[in-house]
Amino acid sequence: MTTKLMGEPVARVEDDRLVTGKGRYADDLMPGALEMAVLRSPHAHARIRSIDVDAVLDVPGVHAVYTYEDLEGPMAEPLPLLIPHPALTHGRTQYALAKDEVNYVGEAIAVVVADNRYLAEDAVSRIEVEYDFLPPVVGIDAARAAEHLVHEDVPGNVAAVMEQSFGDAEAAIASAPHRLSLDLTVERSACMPMEGRGTVARWDEDLNRMSVWTSTQTSTGVRAAVATKLGLDLGQVDVVTPDVGGGFGVKIVHPWPEELLVPMAAKALRRPVKFTEDRREHFISSAHERGQQQHIEVGFDDEGRVLGMSVKFWHDNGAYTPYGLIVPIITSTQLLGPYKLPNYKVVFESLYTNTVIVTPYRGAGRPQGVYAMERTMDAIAAELGMDRTVVRENNFIQPDDFPYAHGELTFQDGRPLIYDSGNYPEMMRKARDLVDWPSFEKFRDEARKEGRKVGIGIACYVEGTGVGPYEGGHVHIETSGKVKVSTGLTTQGQGHQTAFAQIVADELGVRFEDVEVVTGDTRRSPYSVGTFASRAAVMSGSAIALAARNARAKALRLAADALEADVDDLEIVDGIVRVKGAPDSQIALGTLAVLSNPLRYAFDEASRAATQFAVGDPSKPPVAEDDEPGLEGKDYYSPPRSTFASGIHAVIVETDPETAEIRILKYAVVHDCGTLINPRIVEGQVHGGVAQGVGGALYERMAYDETGQLQNASFMDFLMPYVTEVPESIEIDHLETPSPLNPLGIKGAGEAGVIPSSAVFAAAIEDAEGIPITAMPISPSELYALRLAHSSTTSHERTAS
């Protein structure tokens, strides 16, 4: 029997290639293509009075310059609002090139196509634009104050107000034995993939066909957008995703202006055209996330059980809303975490500011929701003088409560918010063990004697993963016995090749090395959605498993004929179908692939066996009426709703009493993503997520000044953590509560590592310092300021009393 691969820490087959520089990214493709550079608005808010491109036209090497005036048909319409929602009453999207007005520093105004990027940038610097300045709205305070408007037809800068509730939160809070309120803020950060955006396009005039290679999380989405905007039939457009150097959410947004302008120029100029975003452009023209202000009211009993919770938050959506309300909807629903609340109300306002758009970044609104809930749990524990883990346990949904519905709430996929499975009490037991929670006070006492300050934090989360609508899988067994697998969603380095090959090897009974996986190629998989919301393993993993089962069923049927055996007596081991207990009676999958495709022509020795004078019952059609040629399986997986992964993080920090530097002493993660396909990959995802979480909690912010200029638009001043800033080791324990919603019991794992970071670090620093931490991220300079403010307040209070 072949060794089972599901659940094994198989080494990633991608890595040799990727870490030795053999990856092929968009910018590596088609050397010699013309290159595009973009003139971006230097102002956060202005009306464009005029654009003068005359000085560009005579620059040698320049092939074209485009402004809004040059856009035709659907290209001249605003970019799509990808996910409409009834509450999004004032949704706005930008134009591919600004029409009349710019609303953030970085908004595209004109593009130049030249022999190379150097010349294109030279030419861009010669374009002259006259602006009438408008007052910029920067930050949530300014958006709420609404003294100035981002869009003059959007009153109060409010894109949407949305409310969801169950029970009667206000009444429950009013009658609760204990009440608290909290005001919290989270600042902006961004995905910051190593590879920025990039698109290459070639128009084939002879075949009347557009080929686009783009660094995206959805090739089918880009395909539909390019076809629609350029007036082409879907069948004329191929979109292929080459290696992608990280996405983390920003590349699910589509079409970016450049993703349309590049193919548009390629068609007009009949030359391949390329756009490769540089780092400054990524900072000022891609997407950010996370910025929110939150106000929480909570009522609870003597055991810390929440009786009612009412949350209002203000979400900074930037200048436009191409991705709808997904991020704040996720915050408002995933805020509930692993807790059983009898009464809950959440209201959010999604607000415009003159800054870069806000769309999902790994975690996608969950870090903010978890921050709100977990800081509330900590506050309840502090108020009651209870252990923070006990307060949480007293609120947990219990294992026999599943499936558990949070009232009538609707999740981001438009489906009811129903948790499929989980075991939160067991997870808490594991977390407490992993971080040695009971011994911490002893450690704190010892540290205190040495003049050291240490603190511990813990935070729980539940993550809705694997959202629909669907993904597909195609498994094709070649006559060589090699197995070619295709799924339409794209890969940004997650290890799909490895994980999907593990699934196919197990389901089909073939060797892992014989399975090759292709992702994100619309020529192979025209029907697909994309890679986001920790959905690839759940969605494509399930679809591929179903497809492999179909291929297996066909192989067994063909083999049963060939071996004159009963299907039930057959097994497939290492690509050979054999009769159980009669190993001599066997046939290779490759041979079955030959036989599955009745031939008129023989091309080699193997295919002779399938030609018309060699096989077949002359009395029957070579392909039976209900059959198809070829040995392949295809299927789609479409879940009724999301599956909910969960986890707990704990961290121990030390803060320097003099310099307020924050050092991580221990980081522990308990994680439940259902059935594990590959624990090594899952742990890699957790490590990467924790690293990004450390960044978001302790280092990264978007430092906009009051005029809307991003002051830290480079890796020198935007402080992504280096390996030297992330914990040296991350202790991980797994729990596996399979999902009942899909054939393999999988839940998503991609985003989990980053979700509770702000909550858990705020808790640990608060614990070390004895000062409430209500704004994240926090820097040593800010912690120092808090210390000064706190000591002056407490000394003031002392004086007053």
Partner 1 sequence: MKPAAFTYQRPTTLTQALAAYAAAPEAKVLAGGQSLIPLMSMRLTSVPELIDINGIEELSHIHVERGQGVRFGAIVRHAQLHAHAEAREVQPLLHAALSHVAHATIRNRGTTVGSIVHADASGEMPMIMSLLGGTLTVASVEGRREITAEDLFIGPLETSLQAGEIAVEAFVPALPARHGVAFDEIARRHGDYALCGVGAIVGLDADGAIEHVRAGYVSVSETPAVVDLTGCFPDGELTEQGLKDAAELALTHLEPEADIHASAEYRAQLARTLTTRVVAAAHADAGARANAEVTA
Footprint of partner 1 on this chain (CB under 8 A)?
Answer: 117-118, 121-122, 125, 278-280, 658-661, 699, 703, 711-712, 714, 716-717, 719, 721-722, 724-725, 779-781, 784-785, 788
Half-sphere exposure of 665 (CA within 13 A, CB side): 20
Hey, is 495 helix, strand or coil?
coil
Query: Between 439 and 724, whose beta carbon lies closer to partner 1?
Result: 724
Query: Between 711 and 729, whose beta carbon lies closer to partner 1?
Result: 711
Query: Between 146 and 703, whose beta carbon lies closer to partner 1?
Result: 703
Find the shortest distance in angstroms from Cβ 98 to partner 1.
Answer: 21
Query: Between 124 and 327, whose beta carbon lies closer to partner 1?
Result: 124
CB 527 within 8 Å of CB 220: yes
Query: Between 60 and 177, whose beta carbon lies closer to partner 1?
Result: 60
Find the shortest distance in angstroms from Cβ 431 to partner 1.
Answer: 29
Whose tokens are 């002359």? That residue is 618
- Which strands, in side-by-side order, build the sheet including 515-519? 515-519, 483-487, 471-477, 632-637
Find the shortest distance in angstroms from Cβ 384 to partner 1.
Answer: 35
Hey, is 679 helix, strand or coil?
helix
CB 71 within 8 Å of CB 109: no
Among candidate residues 495, 338, 489, the one with its CA nearest the CA of residue 424: 338
DSSP 243: B
Among candidate residues 597, 588, 599, 598, the one with its CA nearest the CA of residue 559: 588
Query: Between 603 and 722, whose beta carbon lies closer to partner 1?
Result: 722
Query: Between 659 and 793, whose beta carbon lies closer to partner 1?
Result: 659
Query: Between 196 and 337, whose beta carbon lies closer to partner 1?
Result: 196
Distances (CA, A) of 506 to 90, 437, 485, 509, 552: 50, 40, 14, 5, 11
Provide DSSP, 318-373: TT--TTTTHHHHHHHHHTTTTB--SSEEEEEEEE--SS--B---TTTTHHHHHHHH
Among candidate residues 757, 775, 759, 780, the one with its CA nearest the CA of residue 696: 757
**Would strands 471-477 and 128-133 be described as parallel, antiparallel, or unpaired?**
unpaired
Find the shortest distance in angstroms from Cβ 276 to partner 1.
Answer: 10
CB 113 within 8 Å of CB 42: no
Query: Between 124 and 475, whose beta carbon lies closer to partner 1?
Result: 124
Query: Between 380 and 710, whose beta carbon lies closer to partner 1?
Result: 710
- Name the β-bridge partners of 133: 46
Find the shortest distance in angstroms from Cβ 119 to partner 1.
Answer: 9
- Name the β-bridge partners of 165: 345
Expressed in angstroms, the distance from the first to the final Cα of the chain is 78
Among candidate residues 405, 487, 416, the one with its CA nearest the CA of residue 639: 416
Q: Three-class SS string for 510-553? A: CCHHHEEEEECECCCCCCCCCCCCCCHHHHHHHHHHHHHHHHHH
Query: Between 144 and 452, whose beta carbon lies closer to partner 1?
Result: 452
How far apart are the C-alpha atoms of 223 and 526, rounded to whole Å? 9
Find the shortest distance in angstroms from Cβ 270 to partner 1.
Answer: 25
Find the shortest distance in angstroms from Cβ 516 to partner 1.
Answer: 36
Find the shortest distance in angstroms from Cβ 691 to partner 1.
Answer: 13
Find the shortest distance in angstroms from Cβ 555 to partner 1.
Answer: 53
- Which strands, in side-by-side order, build the sheet including 46-52? 101-102, 46-52, 128-133
How far apart are the C-alpha atoms of 253 and 317, rounded to whole Å? 14
Find the shortest distance in angstroms from Cβ 121 to partner 1.
Answer: 5
Query: Between 7 and 42, whose beta carbon lies closer to partner 1?
Result: 42
Hey, is 665 helix, strand or coil?
strand
Find the shortest distance in angstroms from Cβ 405 to partner 1.
Answer: 45
CB 793 within 8 Å of CB 786: no
Find the shortest distance in angstroms from Cβ 654 to partner 1.
Answer: 15
Find the shortest distance in angstroms from Cβ 785 to partner 1.
Answer: 6
Among candidate residues 493, 146, 62, the one with its CA nearest the CA of residue 351: 146
Q: Three-class SS string for 747-789? A: CCCCCHHHCCHHHHHHHHHHHHHCCCCCEECCCHHHHHHHHHH
Structure-block tokens of residue 622:
């070579």
Query: Between 397 and 660, whose beta carbon lies closer to partner 1?
Result: 660
Q: Three-class SS string for 174-218? A: HCCCEEEEEEEEECCECCCCCCCCEEEEEEECCCCEEEEEECCCC
User: Please, what sign has the CA dihedral across residues 213, 215, 216, 222?
Assistant: negative
Query: Between 179 and 280, whose beta carbon lies closer to partner 1?
Result: 280
Find the shortest distance in angstroms from Cβ 692 to partner 1.
Answer: 15
Find the shortest distance in angstroms from Cβ 25 to partner 1.
Answer: 17
The b-or-e profile of 307-326 (16+ CB within 10 A means b, else e) is bbbbbebbbbbbbbbbbbbb
Find the shortest distance in angstroms from Cβ 685 to partner 1.
Answer: 23
Query: Between 636 and 699, whose beta carbon lies closer to partner 1?
Result: 699
Among candidate residues 521, 750, 476, 491, the one with its CA nearest the CA of residue 635: 476
Query: Between 262 and 783, whose beta carbon lies closer to partner 1?
Result: 783
Query: Between 373 and 697, whose beta carbon lies closer to partner 1?
Result: 697
DSSP 609: T
Find the shortest distance in angstroms from Cβ 284 to partner 1.
Answer: 12
Hey, is 451 helix, strand or coil?
coil
**How many other CB atoms are found less than 10 A from the CB of residue 263?**
30
Query: Between 660 and 676, whose beta carbon lies closer to partner 1?
Result: 660
Find the shortest distance in angstroms from Cβ 288 to partner 1.
Answer: 16
